[in-house]
Chains A and B, each alone.
Chain A
Amino acid sequence: GENVEQHPSTLSVQEGDSAVIKCTYSDSASNYFPWYKQELGKGPQLIIDIRSNVGEKKDQRIAVTLNKTAKHFSLHITETQPEDSAVYFCAAGIQAGTALIFGKGTTLSVSS
């Protein structure tokens, strides 16, 4: 089955700096790669996703890249703000709307 590895487990940055979180996956059948932000005591919220027919996607300060050959994808947050502090999870699935396998999460702390 699918296995998703996520690094780093914790990340501390200064406000305004960039943050990068990386994930690798094992199942070449996976074609959908979402990123979720989870605040304490709440369910995960989708922040961006990418499908295997796209190499990069950007939405304001957030971007995701995908290297399907190497089976890895990354989340990039630029101009970080304290409200970006949360736990971020990457995930992989066969397609959008199907079961997801999650990475172990990255706790991002943005200090002002």
Chain B
Amino acid sequence: GAVVSQHPSWVICKSGTSVKIECRSLDFQATTMFWYRQFPKQSLMLMATSNEGSKATYEQGVEKDKFLINHASLTLSTLTVTSAHPEDSSFYICSASILPGRASRSSYEQYFGPGTRLTVT
């Protein structure tokens, strides 16, 4: 199947600093990318949806000025956690999808990355 990578796989940063997480679709062009966060032993919570070349759509309760999302190309989206605090420590997972109709490789069109573990000290 299609591959989505994330970098870094884990990061430790100090409170008050900013951290950038990259999400790349390696062998397909992703018209839409999604960002989720997952606390330990909990479910994935959708943070935002981003389409290439346009502003991200944030879910209710997600601060867009704190979680900056840039979808500069069809293969790359970045999530920047600004002025990180310990409560931002979480597992951040991206997914990438091809719009129905454009998919040609499999029966589903959303592919998840391996996740990034962020720890803010």
Please determine whether A97 and B93 come into contact, CB atoms closer than 8 angstroms: no
A43 CA to B3 CA in the complex, in Å? 12
Closest to A103 in B: B43
Please determine whether A46 and B42 come into contact, CB atoms closer than 8 angstroms: no
Hey, which bits of chain A sit against chain B, CB under 8 A? 34, 36, 41-46, 49, 89, 95-105
Closest to A46 in B: B108
Q: Can you list 9 residue pairs at the A/B interface with Cβ under 8 Å?
A: A41-B117, A49-B107, A96-B109, A96-B110, A97-B97, A97-B98, A97-B108, A100-B44, A100-B110
Is chain A's binding surface mostly helix, strand, loop or mixed? loop
B79 to chain A, nearest CB (A): 14
A71 CA to B103 CA in the complex, in Å? 27
Q: Is B77 an interface residue (CB 8 A)?
A: no
> A102 with B43: in contact, given A42-B114, A44-B93, A97-B103 (CB under 8 Å)?
yes
**Which B residues touch A89, using CB under 8 A?**
43-44
**Which B residues touch A104, using CB under 8 A?**
42-43
Q: For chain B, residues 12 to 45, give those with C-beta under 8 angstroms from any C-beta of chain A.
A: 32, 34, 36, 41-45
Please determine whether B114 and A95 come into contact, CB atoms closer than 8 angstroms: no
**Which A residues touch B4, using CB under 8 A?**
43
Closest to A105 in B: B43
> A43 with B113: in contact, given A97-B99, A102-B43 (CB under 8 Å)?
yes
Contact of A98 among B41, B43, B97, B112 (CB under 8 A): B97
**Which A residues touch B112, using CB under 8 A?**
36, 43-46
A96 CA to B32 CA in the complex, in Å? 12
> A97 with B46: in contact, given A41-B117, A43-B113, A44-B112 (CB under 8 Å)?
no
